[in-house]
Chains A and B, each alone.
Chain A
Amino acid sequence: MPARAPAAGAAERLTGVERARLVAEILATYATVRWRLRRTDLPTVLEALRAPPRRGARALPLTHDERRLAGAAVRVLRALPSDARCLTRSLVVIAMLARRGSAATLVIATRPEPSFTAHAWVEHAGRPLLPTEGFGDVRLVEL
Chain B
Amino acid sequence: MAPVGRGRTDLERVAVHVPDHVVYRDFAEQTVALNLQTGRYHGLNATAGAMLAALRDAPSVAAAAKRLAPEWDVSEDVLLGDLVDLCDGLEQRGLLETRAAE
Contacts and interface: CB of A to CB of B under 8 A. Distances in A.
Whether chains A and B associate is: yes
Given A41-B21, A118-B41, A140-B23, A112 B34 contact: no
A140 B39 contact: no
Overall SS of chain A's interface = mixed
Interface residues of B, number: 15
Interface residues of A, number: 14
Nearest to B38: A41
A118 B27 CA distance: 14
Contacts of B38: 41
A112 B30 contact: yes
Interface string A54-92: 000000000000000000000000000000000000000
B39 A41 contact: yes
Given A41-B39, A113-B27, A108 B34 contact: yes
B43 interface: yes
Interface in B15-65: 21, 23, 25, 27-30, 32, 34, 36-39, 41, 43
A41 B36 contact: yes
Contacts of A116: 32, 41, 43
A113 B29 contact: yes
Interface of B: 21, 23, 25, 27-30, 32, 34, 36-39, 41, 43
